[in-house]
Amino acid sequence: MKTNRRWAVPLHSAMWMAAGLSAAVLLAGCASKAPQPKTSGGWLKDQVADAYTFGFPLVASDIARERAAGGDANRPGQAPLNTLRHATALPPVGAPGTPSVDTLESTAWLDVASDPVIVSLPAAPRGRYYDARAFDAWTDVLYSSAERAPFPKAQTIAFVPAGWKGNLPAGALRIESTTRYVWLSIRVRVNGQRDVREARKVQTAMQVETLSGAQRAVAAADSTPAATGAWPGTTATVNANAAATAERSATPASAMSPAEQAESLDANAFFARLARALDDNPPSADDAHAMSQLADLGVVPGEPVQFRKSDAGLLSTGVADGRERLATVPSNALTKNGWTWFGDGVGNYGSDYTLRAYLARRQPGTATKESEVRPVARVDSDGHPLNGANTYVVHFAPNQVPPVRGFWTLTTYTKDGALADDKVSRLSVSDHDKLKKNRDGSFDVIVSGASPGKARVSNWLPAPGGDFQLVMRLYAPKPQAADGSWAPPAVQRQ
């Protein structure tokens, strides 16, 4: 059974679409017989913060799955489980979440509870980069093709329940998942608007089917063109997202990303959602202590959650502390020349719950360091916020070119992570562009709101007005990009 639905929304943005469940719905059915937390004390606040940090990635993932795969699949951005959805256009102005303008994304939420799901992918044509990534419900990386080859051959991947026994198609790579749901993200390089049609040919060759074929194909033969520009992020959405932290109760869930919606939940709604999601998506056996802490709070997989009214203050304070952790860059981040990025531990977090939760909140879909490294700069070499009224130079010495096996890009976004203007000549620069080099082999990228003049326009990256951020993406990076021995050059104000 082939399931392959076309759409016009990339992975992380599609996940953010459609209304989420309210706290009232999450709490429906709670019974007075639910487990009760132990006697309250000063220790409870820290325990709640620990439990919140541990469970946040699963709650955000559960909301994202529900938005992307819920309903009857007739709403924009929705499709059934085990169904591919393809972005057929690059993101428009105002698209939030620092979307890539150099890849088209194809995504699916897979349900491997009782039946393996087979994903068939084509070979990369004429060296076109693409990366297929799969995450379990806790955001740990199960598979990434770029770790093996940034320009892969045809591949068949079988996602199976842990411990499943049976026969798979010949040559299929077996990937076990301990969680019921698996998030599949496939990113295909596209070199500007004129190249979208060629990149789409790779998407149309992708297939998803269950092993048994029990499910019927959904819209596999649908010839209706996907709507263009049907991206959920608008300027209004970006503004709403920016205000979500300050005014959680006043912002509708539909205007938030799944991560923002998860963060907006109070303790009762958050832990009720967590308990429900745990029933289908158990954590690693190494998480026994974290699960014991949850049990002490009265949070048990598949069981209703009801806290004592007298603990409301401590629970609220503990959740607030947890949110603060998610807003703080983890201490194991790499920081050099004003850029911040992550290397070791990303994608396979073990007991580093803080790093996993931070990235689930700030950078959903983060792959391993062998798949992608994403440095971010918000300040110049003097520590001042980047601003479009200024002119900056990022000087790449001959030995400082981004070290990649795939490709690299540099993109500007507003300070809130949105694409700001479609009237500029380009939204990013990359190794595909014909950048003018200096005599010694180095090159400069000029970042400014105004054109630097005809002599340097080939190396110009337009900046949005006001404060902004720079995001560099290194696809299939070499080891030195992830261990800190290489760093992006400083952003120098002229």
Query: pLDDT digits over 126-172, tens only?
Result: 889 999 999 999 999 999 999 988 999 999 999 999 999 999 999 99
Instruction: Report the alpha-carbon angle 360-363-365, nearest 5.
Output: 75
Q: What is the pTM of this model?
A: 0.84
Whether residue 243 has pLDDT greater than 50 = no
Give the residue among 263, 287, 468 at the shortest CA–CA distance from 364.
263
Calculate mean pLDDT across residues 12-33.
36
Mean of the per-residue pLDDT values for the chain?
Answer: 84
- The pLDDT of residue 75: 65
Calculate mean pLDDT across residues 292-309.
93
- The pLDDT of residue 20: 37
255/99: higher pLDDT = 99
User: Predicted confidence band at 216 (pLDDT cuts at 50, 70, 90)?
Assistant: very low
What does the alpha-carbon distance between residue 313 and residue 40 come to, in Å, rounded to a whole number?
11
Q: Which helix (H) or strand (E) holds 177?
A: strand 173-177
- The pLDDT of residue 254: 66
- The pLDDT of residue 74: 56
What does the alpha-carbon distance between residue 254 and residue 237 come to, in Å, rounded to a whole number?
9
What does the alpha-carbon distance between residue 469 and residue 481 come to, in Å, rounded to a whole number?
20
User: Predicted confidence band at 484 (pLDDT cuts at 50, 70, 90)?
Assistant: confident
Residue pair 168/211 in contact by the 8 Å Cβ criterion:
yes
Give the residue among 155, 164, 80, 69 at the shortest CA–CA distance from 115.
164
- The pLDDT of residue 19: 35
- Record the tokens describing residue 435, joined without a space: 């950048």
Domain spans in the chain, listed from the N-terminal domain onward: 1-327, 334-493
What does the alpha-carbon distance between residue 3 and residue 220 come to, in Å, rounded to a whole number?
5
- The share of the chain scoring above pLDDT 90, in percent, equals 68
- The pLDDT of residue 246: 37
Which of 159-173, 233-247, 298-312 has the least mean pLDDT?
233-247
Q: Give the CATH number of domain 1-327.
A: 2.60.40.1610
Whether residue 39 has pLDDT greater than 80 = no
In this structure, CATH architecture of domain 334-493: Sandwich (2.60)
Eight-class DSSP state of 435 = P
Beta bridge partners of 414: 468
Query: pLDDT digits over 419-452, tens only?
Result: 887 666 788 999 989 999 999 999 999 999 999 9
- For the chain, how many residues are written? 494
Which of 179-183, 337-341, 483-487 has the least mean pLDDT?
483-487
Residue pair 117/209 in contact by the 8 Å Cβ criterion:
yes
User: Predicted confidence band at 72 (pLDDT cuts at 50, 70, 90)?
Assistant: low
